[in-house]
Structure 1
Amino acid sequence: MAAAHEHLADSADETPIPFRQAVEALRAARLRPEIETGPTPAPKRLAPYAYALEATVVERGGGPGGEDRDLADGRLVVLHQPAGDETWQGTFRVVTLARAELEPEMGTDPLLPDVSWSWLTGALEARGVRYGAPSGTVTRAGSHYFGGLAPREPATQIEIRASWTPAEGPGGVPDLAAHLAAWCDLLCQVAGLPPAPLDAAPGGGVVPLPQRRGPQAR
């Protein structure tokens, strides 16, 4: 089964059709121009079949010298167990990570974890995707710099880890392109970007973060 983790096996006969079709839709998804994606090695022990990609929210020309600047990044993994998984309550599972730097004062907001989780559920609802059995964590950490790094301003990092079971459509194939788009909406949300027009759909309920003061070292 190892070949299935290398972004689909070369021998398609060994890869379940629902998994192959779901990943093909994932690859063909159209995303916001600020999002850069690419394949990354998938975990090999979580399910017989897995596919992973990483994404970065890029601010064009936002660096101190006019270079591009990364605002947020993360990873999305699709797991498939053809026989089904009792914990998942389905045959597919989406596992995600989203992280970004925030303004230090935002890290002291006691509602930040709850609001951050609502960004994820709101993004899924805005895209109209059906899912079940969600779970996850929201972690925030503060960094203060000393010595040679003392000129840097204190920074607060947020990390959202989540997983959910996408509802399966015809042929047992979930609409992973919509799930990917919703997750990228979450990435843009934690990056502080304003919602795209589609994010304003009913049920979105998104609240953009304040814009950052200036370039942050990542």
Structure 2
Amino acid sequence: MLLSQYLSCVNQKNMPPADFLSALRSLREARMSSDFSYEEVPAPRNIAPFSAALSLQTRENSDHPTHGRFLVFYNPEWVEEWQGNFRIVMMISAVTDDEIAADPVIKQVAWDWLHEALDASGAGASNLSGTVTIESSQSFGALRPQAPVSNIEMRASWTPASTDLAPHLEAWGILATFCEGDEPTSPLYPVRDLRSTHHHV
């Protein structure tokens, strides 16, 4: 359940605000691809009084292994920098083809994927910012037999328009599919039913 680790990893001196609990409960209704597994992980505690986090990773062997993090931060007091009380922070990292990594416009294309994912899920977002990083590595010497590896990493944050965060989690899942090199055509299920092999969401 999405509240289990929250109770052990955030400020326990304060009773969780109703808006924050409502936002977390809404996440459990998000419909996500079964190509990935999801689990609750500890969230940073130095950014806001209340926080929660999920991780994502490819379930099966894939040519483009993908993993990511989705974090929710909540401050009962208005945060000027966020222009709100909530802030979403997300990361997606995926192995990609060398040809794609070498494309001079791939960073802009990847950023456009995020906008497309937010639009597709109906997530109302403001104050959107982030980075797209392309990394390539090639082995030498004793490691030369290893094939070159290219990686795309996206980091972004934004302020949600309401406490219904399900569309934002869905956008994160759509973006993960894009970064993996696929179209989001796999069946979707409530994230609460897509448990990892070790933890429950």
Q: TM-score range by the shorter chain?
A: 0.7 to 0.9
Unaligned runs of 5+ in 1: 64-68, 169-173, 200-218
d(CA) in 1 for partners of 2:104, 2:98:
13
Q: For 1:16-65, what per-residue CA distance to the aligned partner results, in whole angstroms no more than 9, with x for missing partners?
A: 0110111122134331110210011100100000001100123x3x46xx
d(CA) in 2 for partners of 1:105, 1:157:
11
Q: For 1:121-150, what per-residue CA distance to the aligned partner results, in whole angstroms no more than 9, with x for missing partners?
A: 110001111110000011111100123332
Q: Report if aligned partners of 1:5, 1:41 keep a CA contact under 8 Å in 2.
A: no
d(CA) in 1 for partners of 2:7, 2:50:
8
In structure 2, the residue matched to 1:23 is 24
Q: TM-score, normalised by structure 1?
A: 0.77
The equivalent position to 2:181 in structure 1, one of 189, 192, 198, is 192
- Superposed counterparts of 1:16-95, under 5 Å: 16-58=17-59, 60=60, 62=61, 71-95=65-89
> How far did 1:13 drift?
7.3
Task: Supply the AA of the counterpart residue of 1:15.
Answer: P
Task: Supply the AA of the counterpart residue of 2:30.
Answer: A
- Superposed counterparts of 1:1-218, under 5 Å: 6-8=5-7, 14-58=15-59, 60=60, 62=61, 71-168=65-162, 174-196=163-185
Instruction: Sort the Cα spacing of 1:75 and 1:137 in 2 relative to 1 into closer, same or farther, 3 A.
Output: same
Task: Supply the AA of the counterpart residue of 1:131.
Answer: A
Instruction: Sort the Cα spacing of 1:12 and 1:36 in 2 relative to 1 into closer, same or farther, 3 A.
Output: farther
Instruction: Sort the Cα spacing of 1:22 and 1:8 in 2 relative to 1 into closer, same or farther, 3 A.
Output: farther
Bigger RCO (CA 8 Å, 6+ sep): 2
Q: Report if aligned partners of 2:51, 2:72 keep a CA contact under 8 Å in 1.
A: yes
Aligned residue pairs: how many?
184
Instruction: Sort the Cα spacing of 1:40 and 1:108 in 2 relative to 1 into closer, same or farther, 3 A.
Output: same
Task: Supply the AA of the counterpart residue of 1:71.
Answer: P
Q: Report if aligned partners of 2:137, 2:149 keep a CA contact under 8 Å in 1.
A: yes
Identity %: 37
The 3-state SS of whatever aligns with 1:101 is strand
Task: Supply the AA of the counterpart residue of 1:175.
Answer: D
> How far did 1:198 drift?
9.2
d(CA) in 1 for partners of 2:76, 2:187:
33
Q: Report if aligned partners of 1:5, 1:44 keep a CA contact under 8 Å in 2.
A: no
